[in-house]
Amino acid sequence: MDVWSDVAPPVSVETDLSGSLRATLGKMELALATLVDAIVWGDEKGRVQWCNTSFERLLGKTRLQILGVPLIDLLPLELGGKPLDPDTHPAALLLRFRSSTTGFYEFHQGGKDLVLEVFGTLAPMGDYGTSEVFVIRDVTEDRKAQQALEQAYAALKQTQQELIQSEKQAALGRFSFGLAHEIKNPLGIILGWAEFLERRTAPADSQTREAIDHIKHSVHRADAIVRGLLQFGRAAPLQVETIDVKEILEGALALLKNRLRLASIEIKSDPPPPPPLEVSVDRNQIQQVFFNILTNAAEAMPKGGTLAVRISRLADSFCSIEITDTGEGISREHRARIFEPFFTTKRNQGGIGLGLSVSKTIVENHRGSLHIESEPGRGTRIRVVLPLAVGL
Amino acid sequence: MITLEELKHRTDVPVILADHEGRITYVNGPFQKVFGWNAEGILGQSLIVIIPTNLHDAHHLGFSRFLTTGKPTLLNQPLKLKAVTKDGRELEAEHLIVAEFQEGRWMFGATLRPL
């Protein structure tokens, strides 16, 4: 029998496709194969009948491994890190509620870690039953970009807040500087006249002498505030010299030596290993910073204690000076305000609340930073980080 | 590569041939025996009759794409696939499908070794 010349019996209309329809289908298949989105459809029981190349790639399987297998088994999805149970898989939802569904799910398979947008819709095909058609889009990169954008926006907001804050500080500094200048002269005049009166008062007139003492004491206090303000708002250029940071710290300690001894405070010093850690700084200003921190530490230990100072190299180009006390520590509530000008917990003991804010400004003017760790009841550690002199 | 002419003379394995429209033009004895179809009943029918319902869409689209592009994706390699018997059962068989371009048209042939 010559098979090619056989006259074929009539063809069942249902199973045959016209040539033009085949051409259309061929072009559709080609077009669908170029899509980045994965497309898959299945029968009324959710078994896959067709998929495009992108779906094969997503699963890392060939079409022959995919066809006929239920989509629920092929595409295990997770929501918030938990695997979906079969009832809540989009393929099951579509069959149960018979209306379109869209959702975002996580997909972890074959080393992939993706976020997928799964869109499902029903295609009623009359006598040929109903198909469920899914379009699956990998939105992992979109999600990452969105998250990065949100983070960048939050950082921008934060920077803006800091900028407003530092602008306020700068304005306050300029204002303080002007104010301090204006007050310094009248204070000098008051003190001069108080001393004039003191000389003119008979030694026996104790009441007047006491009044003059009060005036002088208040003038000295006002003068201390004014000096602090001038330092806070100082616009003068730094008198920079290159010097071993240990020398500056020892200078500050020497100024306080007697006071610490009287208060039963023991100094523990850990000398840094050579070579000397040299910094390019305004020596007086940095010594003022150490002096302020050491004074605070001493005041935190009214019943005595231990003051530990430690200098160390930090990475390649920084040094760290740690000053640790065993005092009362700083409460959480006070921590937030500790660098605010005029914030003090020692107003009754003569504190004016400029020591730390001035110190922070000075350190930051030297491109350094100032850090605080504190535990109420156990003590406080202040760390000053300064850049090492260039060339070391 | 095996030719359609060679396929037609195989008697050790079920063989089926089809034309460019996917119409069945030849089945050998083993095919009739294994799958229960007789030649008179199946010749001229579409290949769809031996393809499980679930694979109809994939067949239509894949077959159409091959006719459009001439680029095979499933030819000349052993494939584990199901084929439908005369009484509607689905039998798994190792398919090896080949195509030949004859007188401006594609012709197809396959061996279906039952598994």
pLDDT in tens, A270-317: 777 778 889 999 888 898 899 989 988 998 898 889 999 999 988 888
pLDDT recorded at residue A244? 92
Rounded to two decimals, the ipTM of the complex is 0.83
Closest Cα in chain A to B27 = A3
Distance from CA of B66 to the nearest CA of A (A): 7
More confident residue, A376 or A271: A376
* Per-residue pLDDT tens over the stretch A75-133: 999 998 899 988 999 999 998 888 899 999 999 987 888 999 999 999 888 877 888 99
Picking from A10, A64, A67, the nearest residue to B54 by CB comes out as: A67
Optimal mutation site among B19, B42, B57, interface A, most CBs of chain A within 10 A: B57
More confident residue, A4 or A216: A216
pLDDT recorded at residue A234? 57
Picking from B44, B55, B64, the nearest residue to A25 by CB comes out as: B64
Q: Is the pLDDT reported for residue B63 higher than 70?
A: yes
- Predicted model pTM: 0.55
Q: Is the pLDDT reported for residue A231 higher than 80?
A: no
Closest Cα in chain A to B25 = A3
Picking from A15, A19, A26, the nearest residue to B46 by CB comes out as: A15
Closest Cα in chain A to B47 = A15
The mean predicted confidence, pLDDT, of chain B is 92
B4–A contact, CB cutoff 8 A:
no
Picking from B43, B63, B69, the nearest residue to A30 by CB comes out as: B69
According to the 3-state scheme, what is the secondary structure of chain A? CCHHHCCCCCCCHHHCCCHHHHHHHHHHHHHHHCCCCEEEEECCCCEEEEECHHHHHHHCCCHHHHCCCEHHHHCCCEECCEECCHHHCHHHHHHHHCCCEEEEEEEEECCEEEEEEEEEEEEECHHHCEEEEEEEEECHHHHHHHHHHHHHHHHHHHHHHHHHHHHHHHHHHHHHHHHHHHHHHHHHHHHHHHHHHHHHCCCCCHHHHHHHHHHHHHHHHHHHHHHHHHHHCCCCCCCEEEEEHHHHHHHHHHHHHHHHHHCCEEEEEECCCCCCCEEEEEHHHHHHHHHHHHHHHHHCCCCCEEEEEEEEEECCCEEEEEEEECCCCCCHHHHCCCCCCCCCCCHHHCCCCCHHHHHHHHHHHCCCEEEEEEECCCEEEEEEEEECCCCC
A63–B58 C-beta distance less than 8 A? yes
A2–B contact, CB cutoff 8 A:
no
Residues in B 16-55 with any Cβ partner in A closer than 8 A: 17, 21-23, 25-26, 40, 43-46, 48-49, 52-55
Distance from CA of B96 to the nearest CA of A (A): 14
More confident residue, B6 or A346: B6
